[in-house]
Amino acid sequence: MRWGDMRPSDNVEEASGDGGGGGFPLGGGMRLGGGAIILIVIVSLLFGVNPLSLIGMMEGGGPVTGAPPVQPQPAPTSSRAPATQPNPQMDFVRRVVGDTEDVWTALFKQMGSRYEPPKLVSFHRATQSPCGLASAASGPFYCPGDQKVYLDTAFFQELSQRFGAPGDFANAYVIAHEIGHHVQNQLGTMQKYDAAVNRNPRDRNALSVRLELQADCYAGVWGYYAAKRNLLEPGDVEEGLRAAAAVGDDNIQRAARGYVVPDAFTHGSAAQRQRWFKQGMSTGDPRTCNTFAARDL
């Protein structure tokens, strides 16, 4: 991906301080073990759910075995301020975010509206958000409370090495998906989702799947315009599709439990995630991303 040709955004900030590691605290002072944290990492990769809410998904599922814990990144040993040194990874994030801003600003203008870009907070190991703790174990997520995306860029290495989805465009897909949730927030979709869940709590999982698949489609919409401007290279789309499949609920459950429970899906199967990402990539039209109106996902 020719991300060096993208415009860097001014809406990326680096969180100060280091929130420390460890599992999420549970009732009675219990903490999730390494295997459970890995499940949260993978599921949170599905972008857009407060990681603390994922704890509830694991109740009754038993411990996850055979999964190594997430290893926190070591603290810098240099006495020099890291901000004075070039950081290609942060440059990549700024440029991808900047390109999503350009695309969605133009699309909102076509819809007769104004796009208000979100902030992206890059943190190391852990930081606080209005949606709860953002940590290296939680993975990237969007917080409607402050309209910010939270991302530990060390997650890109996890995506490549642990989940088998390497590549710049795979990483960009992660960011574009979270930005897709912000688009949903701006268009009022998240508010309608919350109202529907409040009316029928039993529909939460099914509605969550539709919310997440729409964010995948919006990520594809951004990818369509990146391709149209010759910013993509051969193999980039395949990278995005591999990432979408890697974070399908069926693949997650099979790896964590050894079997699949479709009723427990909250983000969609690998095939569904790939389908809706391709939908956006092929049309470039956010109107075709109405997963809530689709009979068959």
What residue spans define the domains of the chain? 3-289
Least confident stretch, 42-46, 92-96, 142-146, 185-189: 42-46
For residues 31-58, one letter each, b for 16 or more C-beta atoms within 10 angstroms of the residue's C-beta and e for the rest, the string is: ebeeebbbbbbbbbbbbbbbbbebbeeb
According to DSSP, the residues that pair with 31 across neighbouring strands are: 25
Residue 290, pLDDT above cutoff 70: yes
**Which has more confidence, 117 or 251?**
117
Q: What is the mean pLDDT of the segment spanning 238-248?
A: 94
Looking at 14-18, 184-188, 243-247, which range is the least confident one? 14-18
- DSSP character for 145? T
pLDDT band at residue 294, thresholds of 50, 70 and 90?
A: very high
Choose among 53, 47, 23, 19: nearest CA to 36: 23
Residue 84 pLDDT: 54
pTM for the model stands at 0.79
Q: Give the residue carrying structure tokens 């440029």.
A: 95
- What pLDDT does residue 51 have? 43
More confident residue, 21 or 219: 219
> For residue 253, is pLDDT > 80?
yes
Lowest pLDDT segment from 10-19, 213-222, 232-241: 10-19
Summarised one tens digit per residue, pLDDT across range 34-62 is 444 444 444 444 444 444 444 433 333 33
Residue 277 pLDDT more than 60? Answer: yes
Q: What is the mean pLDDT of residues 251-267?
A: 92
